[in-house]
Amino acid sequence: MILASYRKALREGMGIVYTIPFRVESEEKQKTSHYLIHATKSPLGFKIMKEVMWNHGHSEEGEGALQFVQSGRTDYVPLFDPRFDVKQEIRNALASDPQCVNLFYSDWVIRPNDLLCQPAYRQALLELEASGEIEVLDRDKRTPKPMTSRKRHKGKPTLGEGYYVRLVRKPSGA
């Protein structure tokens, strides 16, 4: 409640559009020690700082989070996961038409209440593709571009800017 009020005060009192809370845990007490809050009016600054914080944060699930959970923690259950159900939000965005991945990589990451960064969206899109829920199209919006035909980085599939994604349509009666 305090954090939400502080962020609201920055928005309303100072015109700060973008704020990112980064939770830091105290190892001795295994509870929140403090928050680092990045505040900016710049969408680019917001995007960059989220990515920096995301890449340095970690939780029980591993790297990538807007928190720093101490390594000694074994029973931590977060009350709020900024990743929420990002896959469902992506499915909803793809319900009517294919979308360029730039929508997620560039546009969504600068939404003021969106705490995800480009790597988080990339990971969600790659997981949806791996599960067969979406397919990647080449830059022409028509030609399928499966993982096997795209460039790999350190042995892992990539999904660069300019590609399109769409929901895989299940055949009728399936």
Q: 116-131: per-residue pLDDT in tens?
A: 889 889 999 999 999 9
Q: 144-167: per-residue pLDDT in tens?
A: 999 999 988 898 889 999 999 999
Measured in residues, the chain has a length of 174
Res 82 pLDDT > 70: no
Residue 154 gets which letter from DSSP?
Answer: T
Nearest Cα to Cα of residue 108 among 95, 99, 121: 121
Q: If you average pLDDT over every residue of the chain, what do you get? A: 82
Domains and CATH numbers, the chain: 2-68 (no CATH), 86-167 (1.10.10)
pLDDT of res. 78 = 45
pLDDT of res. 54 = 75
| pTM for the full predicted model | 0.72
pLDDT of res. 79 = 40
Residue type at position 84? F
Q: Within 10 Å of residue 92's Cβ, how many Cβ atoms? A: 11
Both tokens assigned to 5? 């009020």
pLDDT of res. 171 = 67
* Residue 63 · residue 43 · CB < 8 Å: no
pLDDT of res. 77 = 44
Q: 36-55: per-residue pLDDT in tens?
A: 888 999 999 988 888 887 77
